[in-house]
Amino acid sequence: MREIDEALVDKGFPVGPLTLLDEVGVNLGEKVGPILEAAFGERMSAPSASTKIIEAGYLGRKTGKGFYDYEATRKKGEKRPVNAGLEKLLAGERDGGRTPDAAEIVERCTLAFANEAAHCLSDDIITEPMHGDIGAIFGLGFLPYTGGPFRTIDSMGVALFVDRLNALVEKHGPRFEPAPILKTMAKATSESHRRFYS
């Protein structure tokens, strides 16, 4: 589990997602998850393991244990230990029992983040890519050196971006389904229609 947080922080995110969940409370997802899924479909469904985590009482810092163990004693400078009980509980939930490497973790999270930004544009939640890039960097901690999720898509090229998402759909399911605007852009014949920025 620590590998997820470390991979993303090493890449430039201000905090890892598991640390963030521990801070806000893992059970918050139980409250918000059904609302998001009802509004946005299967791509926002809660992971199946979340029920197990909540039933075990691993709700984060407020209960002393979440993804990390906040009750364990540690020496100055030592990292907070991973919750061993949670590791046992989730042992069968990983990708065929393997831990993805750092590059794969970063790619999956970054692609999902940028794809969700494209969904926001498709759904008129934002009206311009620039708004999404500014909001993602300053409001959500998206990698600032990339210029934001839309500039990330432009840098990769929308066709390759959609191909990578489709590969993740085959491997991990519909939560990686490319946003409608990305599918349209990937099929465009004009180069200017395959970019968010000229």
Alpha-carbon span 76 to 55, nearest angstrom: 32
Neighbouring CB atoms inside 10 A of 65's CB total: 22
**Sequence ranges of the chain with CATH classification 1.10.1040.50:** 2-89, 102-194
From 39-48, 119-128, 133-142, the region with the lowest mean pLDDT: 39-48
Q: Please give the CATH topology (third level) of the domain spanning 2-89.
A: N-(1-d-carboxylethyl)-l-norvaline Dehydrogenase; domain 2 (1.10.1040)
> For residue range 1-55, what is the model confidence (pLDDT) as tens digits?
799 999 999 999 999 999 999 999 988 877 888 888 888 888 888 777 888 899 9
> For residue range 51-60, what is the model confidence (pLDDT) as tens digits?
889 999 999 9
**pLDDT recorded at residue 41:** 81
Q: Binning pLDDT at 50, 70 and 90, where does residue 152 land?
A: very high
Give the max Cα distance, the chain. 60
- Pick one of 2.30.110.10, 3.40.80.10, 1.10.1040.50, 1.20.1250.20 as the CATH number of 102-194: 1.10.1040.50
> For residue range 75-122, what is the model confidence (pLDDT) as tens digits?
888 899 999 998 888 876 665 567 789 999 999 999 999 999 999 999
**Mean pLDDT value of segment 120-144:** 95
The angle formed by the CA atoms of residues 110, 116 and 117, to the nearest 5 degrees, is: 90
pLDDT greater than 90 at residue 196: yes
Q: What is the pTM of this model?
A: 0.87
**Mean pLDDT value of segment 165-176:** 93
- Phi-psi category of 17—alpha, beta or left, where left has phi over 0 and alpha has psi -120 to 50? alpha
